Amino acid sequence: MDTGRPASYSGLADKTVFITGGGSGIGAAFTRAFAGQRARVGFVDIAEDASQSLVAEIQKETGTAPLFIACDLRDIAALQAAIEKIRIELGDIGVLINNAANDERHTMERVTPAYWDERIAVNVRHMFFAAQTVAPQMKRLGGGAIINLGSIIWRVKQPGLPVYNVAKASITGLTRVLAREFGHLGIRVNTLSPGAVWTERQIKLWYTPEFEKEVMAGQCLKTRVLPSDIANMALFLASEAAEKCTAQDFIVDAGWS
């Protein structure tokens, strides 16, 4: 059971937070966590049913519903339109969580130029354009925080999904470039890299008893990393407690990588 209780960051109250892929998995943990801080949360996701259910659950728990917009992030114009809608309805975005990704398994032999382009579009391209779009809003606010979701997967050299590994490795470079580009605006940019996180999807598709044995052998801490563990780090990075943290990669993997 995911029982992590986040710290309270008063500075996040009434701040507009935009989350990509916020309807399920780690993304849903972000949506819940920031809503629990009384932030104004807007999120996009391609999974409409799961997202609508999450909105209803959060509204019942907190009395305030996050704003959900259905969006396929491969369509950059649609992403930009969603960001503008959230700005209009919730105010200038002060926190961007670039979370959305898909770790579909694939072999080297399966990869075609079209598949490569589609996987890059799903896993990293939208992060750049989301950051580009929210930067003027953060400038008006006098600063902001961008959190790009990376992964330890390329560090542990996991086979079976080479394009995903490339995309996740590139996020570290994207973060460092954006941190320099936006630093003079007071915008902090960091990577948050999870290890093996026990989401419903991962358990259903990949996390066999054999895999758990491998993970536990690799981790220093012999305990499962939960979505709330990743959300807790995101709350810290978005808060004033992390005001001097930028251009860094924060790893939450129980000491595996």
DSSP string, 61-79: HHS-PPEEEE--TT-HHHH
> Could you give the strand order of the β-sheet that contains 249-252, starting from the edge strand earlier in sequence?
67-70, 40-45, 16-20, 93-98, 144-149, 187-194, 249-252
Any idea which residue has 């005001």 for tokens?
A: 243
Catalytic position from the list 9, 115, 164, 207: 164
Residue 23 has phi, psi (to 5 degrees) of -95, -15
Residue 142, class by beta-carbon neighbours within 10 Å (0-12 exposed, 13-18 middle, 19+ buried)? exposed
- In angstroms, the first-to-last Cα distance of the chain is 24
Judged by DSSP in three states, 220 sits in coil
- Residue 164 a catalytic site member: yes
Known catalytic residues are 164
